[in-house]
């Protein structure tokens, strides 16, 4: 269903930026005129940094299919915040019916969200959040990142809190709500324990950077490290390679706690190379599509929809591994 929109503002016109070659072009014409009942949606994805991200992209593409009444314009910004802002501006100038945004970082969204609002185009956040005022977006569908970090921290506190323990941390993308909130929850859970953080650095949610940063930690601290907390499975998997290359046994010499529960992470957990995983559910597509339909139809929606997560020990991972959908 196409929505009549206010004229795109002059400020938005100034911001016209061609989408990069990585963006898939829409088959619909500007103004969301893909057909009377078709909703044209621009989706600004972070990039393709992790297994979680691939599952999330698939979930969105599946839910926003032509069969479900959507024309999806997809852009992945390669984890560059400026490129993601440019993609959103391009969606505004194409006159889409709605924009779905998985913001790479929390800050810096005020201007372009205001441009979307002035153009009458609703923005629906999925996955991460922004620091901009709530009235600049219609709804957010995501996960409780702080609780994820807290659950990870509680496991570490329970298993290591009462003995002197050295920990290193692989943080997600600096400035992302996923990294900030997870660390806040984790810190609260391990506060007052006997755990010492030797070092904490970003690995940008990628396997390659997780490996490189862990190599540096191992060079500096070697066998002093008892525990690794990685903000996602992919960085933990990169670290796992670094630990093996250093002649140590992941899961035994260094215990590893991560977040996501994607297939490769769960396999490492079932094999005893990871010790605990907190899930971050990437299957947000269906709920997001439902909310977009309601918003475009002028129906009221909640400001926040939180999708529930679980957590897994090694034993639990063995039981559920084959039935995991991603």
Could you list the residues that contact ligand AHR (CB under 6 A)? 49-50, 52-53, 127-128, 178, 205, 232, 234, 259-260, 280
If the CB atoms of residues 52 and 293 are measured against ligand AHR, the closer one turns out to be 52
Closest approach of ligand AHR to the CB of residue 119, in Å: 27
Q: Which is nearer to ligand AHR, 69 or 175 (CB)?
A: 175
Q: In whole angstroms, what is the distance from residue 211 CA to residue 9 CA?
A: 46
Nearer of residues 145 and 160 to ligand AHR, judged by Cβ: 145
Closest distance between ligand AHR and the C-beta of residue 275, in Å?
18
- What are residue 167's DSSP bridge partners? 197, 227
Between 36 and 308, whose beta carbon lies closer to ligand AHR?
Answer: 308
Q: Which is nearer to ligand AHR, 32 or 265 (CB)?
A: 265
How far apart (Å, rounded) are the C-alpha atoms in residues 263 and 266? 5
- Tokens at residue 98, please? 């709605």
- Min dist. Cβ of residue 321 to ligand AHR (A): 19
Smallest distance from the beta carbon of 112 to ligand AHR, in angstroms? 20
User: Which CB atom, from 39 or from 213, has the smaller least distance to ligand AHR?
Assistant: 213
* Tokens encoding 156: 């570490």
Find the angle CA(237)-CA(83)-CA(3) to the nearest 5 degrees. Answer: 110
Give the residue with the Cβ less far from ligand AHR, 52 or 74: 52
Distance separating alpha carbons of residues 282 and 95, to the nearest angstrom? 28
In the complex, least distance from residue 79 CB atom to ligand AHR, rounded to whole angstroms = 9
Burial status of residue 191 (CB atoms within 10 A of its CB: 0-12, 13-18, 19 or more): exposed
Q: State in angstroms the smallest separation of the CB of 260 from ligand AHR.
A: 5
Tell the smallest beta-carbon distance from residue 280 to ligand AHR (Å): 5
Measured distance CA(43)–CA(74) in Å, rounded: 5
Tell the smallest beta-carbon distance from residue 174 to ligand AHR (Å).
13
Residue number with CB closer to ligand AHR (115 or 260): 260
């Amino acid at each position: 269903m196409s929505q009549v929109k206010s004229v795109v503002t002059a400020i938005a016109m100034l911001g016209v930026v061609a989408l990069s070659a990585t963006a898939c072009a829409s088959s619909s014409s500007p103004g969301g005129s893909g057909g009377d009942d078709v909703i044209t949606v621009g989706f600004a994805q972070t990039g393709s940094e992790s297994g979680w991200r691939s599952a999330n992209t698939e979930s969105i593409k599946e839910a926003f299919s032509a069969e479900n009444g959507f024309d999806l314009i997809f852009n992945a910004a390669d984890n560059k915040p400026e490129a993601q802002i440019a993609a959103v501006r391009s969606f505004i100038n194409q006159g889409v019916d709605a924009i779905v945004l998985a913001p790479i970082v929390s800050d810096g969204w005020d201007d372009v969200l205001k441009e979307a609002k002035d153009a009458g185009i609703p923005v629906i956040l999925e996955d991460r959040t922004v620091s901009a005022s709530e009235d600049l977006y219609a709804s957010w569908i995501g996960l409780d990142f702080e609780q994820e970090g807290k659950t990870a921290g509680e496991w570490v506190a329970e298993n290591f809190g009462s003995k002197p323990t050295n920990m290193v941390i692989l943080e997600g993308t600096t400035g992302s709500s996923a990294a900030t909130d997870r660390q806040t929850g984790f810190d609260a859970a391990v506060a007052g324990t006997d755990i010492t953080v030797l070092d904490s650095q970003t690995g940008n949610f990628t396997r390659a950077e997780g490996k490189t940063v862990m190599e540096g930690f191992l060079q500096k601290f070697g066998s002093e490290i008892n525990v690794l907390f990685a903000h996602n499975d992919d960085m933990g998997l990169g670290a796992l390679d670094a630990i093996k290359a250093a002649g140590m046994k992941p899961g035994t010499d260094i215990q590893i706690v991560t977040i996501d529960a994607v297939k490769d992470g769960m396999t490492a957990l079932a094999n005893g190379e990871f010790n605990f995983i907190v899930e971050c559910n990437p299957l947000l597509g269906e709920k997001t599509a439902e909310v977009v339909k309601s918003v475009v139809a002028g129906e009221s929606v909640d400001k926040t929809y939180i999708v529930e997560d679980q957590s897994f020990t090694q034993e639990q991972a063995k039981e559920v591994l084959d039935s995991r959908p991603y």
